[in-house]
Amino acid sequence: MMKRMQRDAVLLSLIKEMKDKGSWCGETHIQKAAYFLQELLGVPMGFEFILYKHGPYSFDLSDEVTAMRADSLLEYKTRVPYGPNLFPTKEGQEFLLRYPKTLSNYADRINFVAEKIGILGVADLERLATALYVTFDENVEGKSREDTIIELKPHITIDESCEALKKIDAIKREAMEKGLSSSS
């Protein structure tokens, strides 16, 4: 597991890359992107995720984002009519310069996540992240992944469930082909 400051540098870099790819970067976006980075691509950030209202969620990550705001590394800006999103501050940009080795170690993975999910809306993020959660959950044995998603999230249709799983399988395959993940 990486040290807190390294983890903050990875999170700041992830937010910056997502912004560069057109992401809204609200907390839901950051939660799901960090989940993909950690669980799919093996970046050892050490956050514990649970399945929550809108898919995988980490209270530890939420606390870390708050701490980063308190440390003046991140700030909320409101964009009408959608609400708050997170931006690295000037101090946050300078902070990134202190961790070139950490950031170069994870740059390909950060870019991959930003590319794949950066511009998705909250509903799409929920479906994809839940599909990834179910894919890696050992307690699914005996049930199809589609049925498990619908059982966990009754508002997701069977077609949406199947589509999300196809996308997750394609993302996993591409990550493995690029050498970014060893997940099966």
Percent of the chain scoring above 90 in pLDDT: 86
Q: Which residue has the higher pLDDT, 79 or 69?
A: 69
Q: Which two tokens stand for residue 167?
A: 């996308």
Distance CA 71, CA 92 (A): 9
| Domain range list for the chain | 4-177
The whole-number average pLDDT for the span 35-42 is 98
The secondary element (H helix, E strand) that includes residue 75 is strand 74-79
* pLDDT at residue 143 in the model: 76
Cα 12 to its chain centre, rounded Å, is 12
The model's pLDDT over 82-115, given as tens digits with 9 standing for 90+, comes to: 778 999 999 999 999 999 999 999 999 999 999 9
Q: Let me know if 162 is exposed, middle or buried by CB neighbors in 10 A (0-12, 13-18, 19+).
A: middle
pLDDT higher than threshold 70 for residue 125 = yes
Output the CA–CA distances (angstroms, integers) from residue 21 to 38, 79, 108, 114, in the order listed. Answer: 20, 17, 14, 7
Write the DSSP string, 11-55: HHHHHHHHHHTT----HHHHHHHHHIIIIIT--------EEETTE
* pLDDT at residue 183 in the model: 64
Distance CA 24, CA 84 (A): 9
pLDDT higher than threshold 60 for residue 9 = yes
The model's pLDDT over 133-143, given as tens digits with 9 standing for 90+, comes to: 999 886 666 67
Alpha helix (H) ranges present in 71-99?
A: 90-96
Question: What's the predicted TM-score (pTM) here?
Answer: 0.95
Secondary structure letter of residue 140 according to DSSP? G
